[in-house]
Amino acid sequence: MLLTIVEVIMRKFDLPSFDACRMGHDYGAADPELGFAPIPGSEVAGNKLNEHGMRGPLLPIKKKPGNFRILFLGDSTCWGLGVKLEDSFSALATSLIAEDNPDREVEYIQGAFPGYSSYQSKVMLKKLINRKPDLVIFYVGANNDHTRARYFKDSDIPVRSARLHATWHKIHLLRILEVFKDKIYRKFLRKLKSRDARARVPIKEFHENMTWMVKNVTKHNMKALIIIPPYSNHRLNRHPTIPKYKESLKAIATDFNIPVIKLQKIIESQDEGLVYFSDLYHLRELGHKLTAYEIRRVVTREMIVENSGI
């Protein structure tokens, strides 16, 4: 009887107010596979998303014959958080490659989004591969993968999302037990795990995600280019697992014999305050410009575009 009364009271006041199974983000709506997804036509960090929920030009799903299409996958830096669209390395690199190839139209799809890890990039590739990009550029593993998971790994998102529709989840008493368990894990049990095990995407899963993506890109006769993100001294000191992610990217590039851009040395030759914003993570205009010119150099010298028909 007491439990029934408590359940009625909790339902009346919609308690518990917190539910780790409810996905969502300041930048997007809840999504059962991604966790959170961009809302078409919405505004994100002062930028209006197009009808496909992406930043940048609205391209038709079907590519026009003869066009060279580039797909960018990654996080907020790849998306261009903090800079104008035309100053992001995705837009700049596309314009530079177009200048080198005036006889053919070069276009790009921005498949990156703020807060995304390699897990979400993998999902995005599944969704966007039917748009038949000629080249896929990966800027993955910069921050979100090795950032500590709050309650669960990114790969657990579908399972957590499914719980919302489970019969037991409608019982508020059981839901509060779940919340209590999550809180205990976050406050205490998580600290007993290794730093890698606490990551949103542990290094083993990161390697599996990247391998799957590159394998599927090359399987569809598309070109792939991996950018190994640069890290400020502050980030390197704060995240000692970063070298593992960098080595994973290098190994995958070697295994699949695809070009790789190592931005660290290029960025280190500049003043960190001019390259990064105050968070010492997101790139300023100069950082995007350096990245764009490096993409152009690799694409031109390694004949990625030429081999694709230009």
User: Given this model, what pLDDT does residue 83 score?
Assistant: 97
User: Given this model, what pLDDT does residue 213 score?
Assistant: 98
What is the secondary structure of 178-211 as a DSSP string? HHHHHHHHHHTGGGGS-TTTTBSS-HHHHHHHHH
What is the secondary structure of 197-255 as a DSSP string? TTBSS-HHHHHHHHHHHHHHHHHTT-EEEEEE----HHHHHH-TTHHHHHHHHHHHHHH
Domains and CATH numbers, the chain: 1-18+148-193 (no CATH), 66-146+199-307 (3.40.50.1110)
User: Given this model, what pLDDT does residue 263 score?
Assistant: 94
| pTM for this model (two decimals) | 0.93
At 215-232, the pLDDT tens digits run 999 999 999 999 999 999
Closest CA to 118 of 214, 232, 262, 218: 214
Q: Report whether 181 contacts 42 (CB < 8 A).
A: no
pLDDT in tens, the chain (310 residues): 888 988 888 898 888 888 888 887 888 899 999 999 999 999 999 999 999 999 999 999 999 999 999 999 999 999 999 999 999 999 999 999 999 999 889 999 999 999 999 999 999 999 999 999 999 999 999 999 999 998 899 999 999 999 988 998 889 999 989 888 888 988 888 888 888 889 999 999 999 999 999 999 999 999 999 999 999 988 888 888 999 999 999 999 999 999 999 999 899 889 999 999 999 999 999 999 999 999 999 998 775 555 444 4
Pairing of strands 35-37, 29-31: antiparallel
User: Given this model, what pLDDT does residue 307 score?
Assistant: 45
User: Given this model, what pLDDT does residue 254 score?
Assistant: 97
Angle between helix 2-12 and 172-187 (nearest 10): 80
Adjacency order of strands within the sheet including 260-262:
106-110, 68-74, 135-139, 223-228, 260-262
At 235-265, the pLDDT tens digits run 888 888 999 999 999 999 999 999 999 999 8
User: Given this model, what pLDDT does residue 231 score?
Assistant: 93
Distances (CA, A) of 30 to 25, 79, 94, 111: 7, 20, 31, 18
User: Given this model, what pLDDT does residue 308 score?
Assistant: 46
Pairing of strands 135-139, 29-31: unpaired
3-class state of residue 15 by DSSP: coil
User: Given this model, what pLDDT does residue 26 score?
Assistant: 83
Residue with tokens 């070298």: 243
User: Given this model, what pLDDT does residue 310 score?
Assistant: 42
Q: Report whether 149 contacts 193 (CB < 8 A).
A: no
Which phi and psi angles does 168 have, rounded to 5°?
-65, -25
Tokens of 290: 């350096």
